[in-house]
Amino acid sequence: MLKRLSVSNLAVVEKAEAEFASGLNVLTGETGAGKSVLMRALELVLGARADASAVRDGAKEAEIEADFGDCVIRRAISADGHSRAWINDSAASATELRALGRTLVDVHGPRANQLLLEEGFQRKTLDSYGRCAVAEYGAAWAELGRIRAEIGSLEAVSPDGDMADLLAFQVSELEDASLSSEDEDLPARHAAASHAGEIVAAANGITEALGGDSGAADILVRLQPKFAAIARHMPEASGWAVEAEEITVRLQELSRTVADAAAKIDTNPVEFAEMDERLAVVNKLKRKYLKSGGTVADLIALAASKKERLSAIEGRDTKLAELRNLEKSALARVMSEGMKLASARRDAAARLAKAVTKELRDLGFLKAKFGVDVAAAEPSPSGCDCVTYLFEPNPGESARPLSAIASSGEIARVMLAVKGVLAAHDATGTLVFDEIDANIGGETGFAVGEKLRAVARHRQVIAITHLPQSAVFGDRHLVVVKRVSSGRTRTTISQVEGDAQTDEIARMLGGGKTADAVRRHAEELLSRAKTGGLGKGRS
């Protein structure tokens, strides 16, 4: 339930706060006072797209805060169009706001009323009312889609025999080379072997200079006594001896490393010839298959890829046959689940039609009938049927699709009737109706107000209205007032009760505080709303 909505620096609203109660909350005020700004504020805090035009002229940023009791949502929109949001003081994205908002508030304005004419909305409403098991059908449809996607991928693979022959040759050529990770350093080993004599001779010279009887290491060993002699008279010389010993160890290790490397160089002419031949094979495959250069690992991966593609081509027809059998089974399941879903929808349609028709009686349609048609259709993600809302405004007229005959006022009342039926089924805590009673008036407006109050027994309802006949039913009546002060327009929101409420209803009726007849009419409307008596003569 929405408990409080605070707005600052949004459009004409410098600073305003509205506190809402359970039951029916009505918002009234002169045209242009800022009621639409409050609706915009609620939409923004629930994740609607924000831009710099929302910020009040001269302000750095607009801020909206909505308190839902255990959940507080804040959103700030800067003058440069950037926005930030928080849920219970934790940063949140607009996507997260929208996801949360769908569970908290259901907004119905002129656009929402038009949704009633869309088949998708009609179908979802019917499913919600009838608690139709759409998940089973959805799973069957998803499986059929997966199988058809796999069939499509296989059909995209060319069955051309020449392509299969080419791939078979390429796979054979690559696999016959028996490539392995050991071939990666083949060029380096080949280069070393081709200069084996030169490398070995130089390596021998290095090891002799480093570790022979007169090598550098031996010289340092023989110098140790001299370091010791100096150290007896020069304390710092003791470090020289240690350093000389460390250098000796490193020189000996270097000598062994050079000797080991030289020993690995292949000087066997037969083995060198084999290496030369192997390198030629690897280089040939690289030139042929790796146009932009690459490694042996790339050749190995390419061989695996071509082999997999060849396998797909060779097994294509067999796999396609298997998948088409699976497609038949999956389609049969779709049809079976679709029939079950359609049956559940037809059962729910009869009950929904009866319930909405009853609600419409209360809204002034004394002779009108509401119907729901569930007709067979080609399988689709939503089922094997098409849902259409029908409307028969007068006896003797054939029922026709709601979208073909209903006026905007009729659509608003049908939407309210549907919401009245769904109120006990809908999990959303707050319903917002933005001028759902537009284009109607008189006793019908009074009927709409009573229906809003009936819906509010199950959910919190916030209704923005210009109709005094609807406004009198509010459990809490909030008035939005626009004033000009110091050259700036400011909007305030206040709760009205007693005489103040009577004054507001009188204003809405077209009179003022001094118009006695209008004021008495306002008092009568408020009295009727409290007693709940509609009286007779509704049309």
- In single-letter form, the type of residue at position 505 comes to I
Rounded to whole angstroms, the Cα distance separating 231 from 229 reads 5
CA distance 116 to 325: 41
Q: Cβ atoms within 10 A of the Cβ of 284, count?
A: 12
Contact 421, 454 (CB under 8 A): no
Tokens of 328: 């038949």
310, part of any domain:
no
> What is the structure's pLDDT at 344?
96
Q: Are strands 369-380 and 72-78 parallel, antiparallel or unpaired?
A: unpaired
Q: Calculate the alpha carbon distances from 102 to 117, 434, 490 in Å.
A: 21, 17, 31
Contact between 55 and 78 under an 8 Å Cβ cutoff? The reply is yes
| Token representation of residue 226 | 């001299």
Q: Residue 462: which of 474, 444, 450 has the closest Cα? A: 474
* C-alpha span between 308 and 312 (Å, rounded): 6
DSSP output for 333-390: HHHHHHHHHHHHHHHHHHHHHHHHHHHHHHTT-SS-EEEEEEEEEEEETTEEEEEEEE
The conformation of residue 56, written as its DSSP 8-state character, comes to P
Asked if residue 251 belongs to a domain, the reply is yes
Residue 277 lies in a domain: yes
Distances (CA, A) of 289 to 282, 292, 293, 324, 417: 11, 9, 9, 36, 71
Exposure string (b/e) for 441-457, b if CB count within 10 Å is 16 or more?
A: bebbbbbbbbbbbbbbe
DSSP string, 115-126: HTTSHHHHHHHH
Amino acid at 334: V
pLDDT for 111 equals 61
The phi and psi torsions of 244 (rounded to 5 degrees) equal -65, -40
Three-state DSSP state, 404: helix
Residue 204: predicted pLDDT: 66
Whether 68 and 77 have beta carbons less than 8 Å apart is answered as no
- Return the residue matching tokens 């801020």: 63
Q: Half-sphere exposure (CA, 13 Å, Cβ side) for 521? A: 18
Cα 424 to Cα 172: distance, rounded to the nearest angstrom? 70
Tokens of 124: 């979802």
> Contact at 8 Å (CB) between 428 and 459?
yes
Asked if residue 460 belongs to a domain, the reply is no
**Structural domain contains residue 226:** yes
For residue 212, being part of any structural domain is answered with yes
Q: Which two tokens stand for residue 479?
A: 């008035």
Report if residue 503 sits inside a domain. Answer: no
- Please check whether residue 308 lies inside any domain of the structure: no
Paired tokens of 151: 């069939």
| Distance, CA of 449 to chain centre | 37
Using CA atoms, how far apart are residues 179 and 171, in angstroms rounded to an integer?
12
- Say if residues 27 and 464 touch (Cβ distance below 8 Å): yes
Digitized pLDDT (tens) for each residue of the chain, 539 residues in all: 999 999 999 887 888 899 999 999 999 988 777 788 888 899 899 988 888 888 888 889 999 999 998 899 999 999 988 899 999 999 999 899 999 988 898 887 666 667 778 888 899 989 989 999 899 999 999 999 999 999 998 887 666 667 778 888 988 888 888 888 878 777 777 666 665 555 666 666 677 676 655 567 677 777 778 777 887 778 777 788 778 778 878 877 777 777 777 776 666 677 767 777 888 888 888 888 887 778 888 888 888 988 888 877 777 778 889 999 999 999 999 999 999 999 999 999 999 999 999 988 888 788 888 999 999 999 999 999 999 999 887 777 788 888 887 676 677 778 888 888 887 677 678 988 887 776 676 777 888 888 889 888 888 999 998 889 999 999 999 999 888 777 677 788 899 999 999 999 999 888 655 578 888 899 999 998 888 654 433 43
- What's the rounded Cα separation, in Å, for the pair 110 and 96? 25
Query: Which domain does 257 fall in, by range?
Result: 185-294
For residue 85, count CB atoms less than 10 angstroms from its CB and return exposed for 0-12, middle for 13-18, buried for 19 or more.
buried
- 434, 464 Cβ separation under 8 angstroms: yes
Radius of gyration of the chain (CA): 43
Tally of domains in the chain: 1
Please give the Cα distance from 69 to 73 (Å, whole number).
Answer: 10
| Cα(426)–Cα(443) distance, integer angstroms | 28
Strands 61-67, 24-29: pairing kind = unpaired
Q: Which two tokens stand for residue 16?
A: 């305003």
Token digits for 37?
A: 């700004």
Q: What pLDDT score was predicted for residue 328? A: 96
Q: Tokens 């009633």 identify what position? A: 116
DSSP state, residue 488: E
Q: Nearest 5°: CA angle at 11, between 9 and 13?
A: 55
